[in-house]
Amino acid sequence: MRKYLLILLCFVQAGAWAAGGEREVIDFSASWKFHLGDVPEAKDPLFKDAGWRSLDVPHDWSIEGDFSKDHPATPGGGALPGGTGWYRKTFDVPAEDRGRLIYIDFDGVYHQSEVWINGHYLGKRPNGYISFRYELSKFLRFGEKNVLSVKVDNAKQPNSRWYSGSGIYRKVSLVKVDPVHVPQYGTFVTTPQVSAERAEVAVRTTVLNASAKRASVRLNTIVRDAGGVEVASIWQNQAILPGKTFQFNQRGGVTKPRMWSVGDPALYTAVSRVYIGKKLVDTYETTFGIRTFRFDADKGFSLNGVPMKIQGVCNHHDLGALGAAFNRRAAERQLEILKGMGCNGIRTSHNPPAPELLELCDRMGFIVMDEAFDMWKKQKNPFDYHQDWDQWHRRDLEDLVKRDRNHPSVFIWSVGNEIQEQWGDEAKGDTTGRVIARELVSIVRSLDTTRAITTANNEVNTYNNLLKSGAFDLIGYNYNHRLWANFHERWPGKKFIVTESTSALQTRGHYDLVPFDTIRRWPEAWDKPIKGGGNADFTVSAYDHVSAPWGSTHEESLKALHANAHVSGMYVWTGFDYLGEPTPYPWPARSSYFGIVDLAGFPKDVYWLYKSVWTNQPVLHLYPHWNWKVGDTVDVVAYYSQADEVELFLNGKSLGGKKKTADELHVKWRVPFAEGHLHAVSRKGGVEVLSEDVYTAGKPAKIELLADRSNLTADGRDLSFVTVRVLDEAGHVVPGADNLVRFHVSGAGVLNAVDNGSPTSHERFKADKRKAFNGMALAIIQSGKAAGEIRVEAVSEGLQGSEIVLTVK
């Protein structure tokens, strides 16, 4: 039996923020100037930008635009505008910084970015998802004003199969260091041995001597636990010649380590202190976790010796109404919602993620599949990354691995998604897929041998050129759920992960009155329209009975996952709806229907299916709504757990108890509609566990506002997501309500964006009003930089308004 054992002590590489020594990492997000349009002369430091717009980054200009099917991105790319934009930032560098090395770090710019400092060209980075750095030192004017200019070119479209966004959409930092310092991505830590008693720590730390003279360096690596208590300290001395680097190899140990897991993501801190003589010249802090994991061909996945399934989702990088502009709180909210249903894994589909997302996954306990590419040399869109493959793929992959290889949340590297090189005519000598696959795996293994490597394959037959390469630790299947059970017949002795599953389709709050168990594949094939046209209003029933033709329903996928021990886990397509790729409909649809949660962050009914299977919490969820016509017969469905059965009542009369049979994950009743009240009770051993009620709602009467957080930080970035519900007089959500709601926000914050989760709405996200969609809408409130109160008021014609107050500290 072949087994793959991975033992790792993981370090999250990050510069020390005011941690002592000579290193400074300065948040460079504030006070940029922006212009939409190509202004080549803007690279000149004397260029006058006073008339340009002032803003902070991260920034996505596409999300600010209007939807149109005529935008070059097409509805598949989100139907929002692209173009070319310029950013400029004027800043001071103190005279006393002369002699230090100063870098600018970009976490991500989409895309084809070019950067100048004081008119000097620093370089170009085509990949819109990769992090990169330039040195500024030799071009700076110390004690004077300096101008950083950035051109972002997203004009040539389509270049993405989903919404990409446009601009400096991730964090920017200015880094100041002594000439003798730990360079970017300068540490890598493994643990050759881990037990409950002790973790052996092997730390590789690179130190650069960029000075003009020989440096006698002393490196002290200190390990601290979550409480700040020092648990290990390692010293090493080395003379480093000018202009050279030296890699320190240090070993120590952590006694009785607290293991990182999805339920207890325990983190440590390593502090790398660089001394010349007795002078501390650099401090580099790293957060890490200790864990062991194994992929086994027969038994699947285990973490710290405990067998478990990876219960993951795929997510694209947009944050709904915020677009691609990364916001830590918005990403944290998504992860909190997913964690609530029992999700423990994230696949970064299909690109390098924001570093801050991985920091959140480290802290919150997610198993990450870190994905590099959506295409190799063969294109999927006319202007996509295939144009830059030959020149940039090695550099981009190396930078991704070096950046992310110390995150405890990262367990798997994926070097490609549904790559066109899966197919090739061997008779004509086309073995490109095998050659590139082996090259990419070799690049990853040259930098990290502690994690599994895979690709996400929609061709799972043995003639797949990528899989024929024999290069991969894990065989990754996209979809094909009926083939999971017999995986070893096709790939004997191999380890198996479902890299992408399901592609089920739902519109939150909409239900077609067809039997729940009638499964539909919409459309019949990826290149065909829906037979019969689908629904006239471009909705898809939120019963779990519609999927894309290549996929499966949520319940079909869950059954196949849990029935097969050799399946290490699966990543569901998708956790959240996302902008672009509006399967199964063409325009006017402009965002996806795939999510377990809609674009606004409102869960669809299947969320509770996952919660009932993937958690140990008692669950009872009853749907659909109860506003129908007399004569309608409605399938009433319940998801439940931690109980033996569910009994349903209509207007006080029992419709009988139901138990899940065989491998079914739901119970249902076919009920002739009668206005009134559905009441469900789950019981275990005859004792009530939970109850759930659904009422026939009356006409819209009032607005309710519910904030996910009432206390915000005065950093100019913190967010409160305010749910808007349209209620009847009795306080029940009105299922079909589409009232236009207007927002008035005053005080110590602003209204950032609005949404309602509809995949067909063409209303602007950056607005002060939004129609409700199936009774709900969303207002995203952003804090200012001063303490105070934010007053949020929502009004709608004919409805009683509502107001809440948020506190900014």
Catalytic positions: 418, 500
How many DSSP H helices and E strands does the chain contain? 8, 47
Q: Which residues pair with 687 in a beta bridge?
A: 684
> Are 310 and 301 spatial neighbours (Cβ–Cβ below 8 Å)?
yes
Distance separating alpha carbons of residues 606 and 508, to the nearest angstrom: 10
Helix (H, G, I), strand (E, B) or coil at 22: coil
| Structure token pair of residue 559 | 């059954």
Cis peptide before 574 (omega within 30 of 0): yes
Using DSSP's 3-state secondary structure scheme, residue 272 falls into: strand
Q: Vertex 170, ends 167 and 175: CA angle to 5°?
A: 115
DSSP 131: -
Q: What is the 3-state secondary structure (H, E, C) of 157-198?
A: CCCCCCCCCCECCCCEEEEEECCEECCCCCEEEECCCECCCE
Cα 651 to Cα 30, 69, 114, 659, 699, distances in angstroms: 58, 48, 66, 21, 20
Q: Which residues of 774-807 are buried (b: 16+ CB within 10 A; e: fewer)?
A: bbbbbbbbbbbeeeeebebbbbbeebeebebebb
Angle between helices 355-364 and 328-340 (to 10 degrees): 40
Measured CA to CA, the distance from residue 718 to residue 785 in angstroms comes to 10
- Residue 72: asked if its preceding bond is cis (omega within 30°), the reply is no
Instruction: Say if CB 152 and CB 168 are below 8 A apart.
Output: yes
Q: How far apart are CA 719 and CA 548, in angstroms?
A: 34
Q: Do the Cβ atoms of 325 and 63 come closer than 8 Å?
A: yes
Structure tokens at 357: 């997302």
Dihedral sign, CA of 421, 426, 430, 435?
positive
H-helix segments, 341-388: 355-364
Handedness of CA 434, 436, 438, 441 (dihedral sign): negative
DSSP three-state, residue 436: helix
Contact 38, 150 (CB under 8 A): no
Which regions of 522-597 does DSSP assign to beta strands (E)? 546-547, 567-573
What is the edge-to-edge ordering of all strands in the sheet holding 619-623? 619-623, 633-641, 667-672
Distance CA 472, CA 479 (A): 19
Please spell the DSSP secondary structure of 321-354, one letter per residue: GGTTS--HHHHHHHHHHHHHTT--EEEETTSPPP
Q: Are 598 and 357 in contact (CB under 8 A)?
A: no
Omega within 30 of 0 (cis) for the link into 386: no
